[in-house]
Amino acid sequence: MDFLKKLGSLDRRVVYLVLAVSVIVPLVFSFNLRHYVDRSTQRLFDHIEAVPPGGKAVLISFDYDPQVAAELDPMAEAVLRHCFARGIPVIGMSLYPIGASLGERIFTRVAQECGKRHGVDYCYMGYRPGYTIVIMGLGENMRGTFRTDHYGTPADSLPLLRNIRNYDDVALLLDLAGSQVVTTWIVYAGVQYHATVAAGLTAVSAPDYYPYLQTGQLVGQLGGMKGAAEYEQLNVERGYHPRKGLASRAMNAISVSHIVTMLLIIMGNIAFLAARRAGKRDGEGRAIQ
């Protein structure tokens, strides 16, 4: 019982330390844990796989802030590599002021690695204010909504945009978001303009969008770091990229830290139940020494 008493009143800093170790050790000592590809990820990959090279474009919106970039940056990178490897034109944009800079950084790096040219193989349009108005404007006239790209070049002078009028010329809208902005894309681009929408979401938001996946309002969905790792794995399996990226390397740490979290939750519950049985607990259920 002494052990259970101590467990019940364990300092939270010990829990932080245990979790930190469970994250750091798998990162330093690399090993291969298998993870399967979820069907929502597979559906997104298959949809992009079916887009003919040089045909309709894929539009990626970077609607997130640095707080969640850890989860969404690897997704953006993996999808961009897939599109560039298949020769699919890509248009980047953002409804978030800071998201524009995050997207530009990824676009520039991946495009350079893949030898793609701005204006020809991809366009980065940057930020435009006014969520709903921008989404509806893109459905009417893309070059009217984005008169210049992120660097100030007139949209009319970009060869890639000459053949893209509105959502009819876009094979897929992928919204990378850490908020409910995905719903705005579904409501306006999906319902009003019948555009094909997919989402890359933080793990916190992912469960909220499974109903949209089930109804087909989202053709695919990447959920958190795991979604990004799955997409990286698919890219490697199909030969679009020689090695897995940051998300895949993080999966070992996620798996180990999840096991530790589960053990901590179980131990916490055992300590709580033991304290309750002994009739000694404070208002929050903590064991009293």
Partner 1 sequence: MTTNPWVWLAAILTLCIYTYLYKDNPFYKFAEHLFTGLAVGYTIAIYWHNAVQPYVIQGIFRAHDWVLLVPLGLGLLYLTRFIPKIGYLMLIPIAISLGAGSGVGLPRSLEANIVKQMQGTLLTPAMLQHPFDPYNGLVVGLLVLAGVVCTISYFFFSREHTGALRVSSRIGIWFVMIGFGASFGYTVMARLSLFISRMQFLMTDWIHIIK
Q: Which of 9, 67, 157, 180 binds partner 1 (CB under 8 A)?
A: 67
Q: Which of 1, 6, 9, 27 forms a contact with partner 1 (CB under 8 A)? A: 27
Which residues neighbour 155 within 8 Å (Cβ) at sequence distance 6 or greater? 123, 125, 142, 143, 146, 147, 148, 149, 161
Is residue 269 involved in binding partner 1 (CB under 8 A)?
no
Number of residues that bind partner 1 (CB under 8 A): 53
Q: Check binding of 23 to partner 1 (CB under 8 A).
A: yes
Min. distance of Cβ 87 from partner 1 in angstroms?
A: 30
Decide if residue 13 touches partner 1 (CB under 8 A): yes
- Is 254 a binding residue for partner 1 by CB under 8 A? The answer is yes
**Residue 253, interface with partner 1 (CB under 8 A)?**
yes
Q: Any contact of residue 127 with partner 1 (CB under 8 A)?
A: yes
Return residues touching partner 1 (CB under 8 A). 13, 16, 19-20, 23-24, 27-28, 39, 67-71, 97-98, 100, 126-129, 132, 136, 183, 186-188, 190-192, 202-204, 206-208, 211, 213-215, 217, 223-226, 246, 249-250, 253-254, 257-258, 261
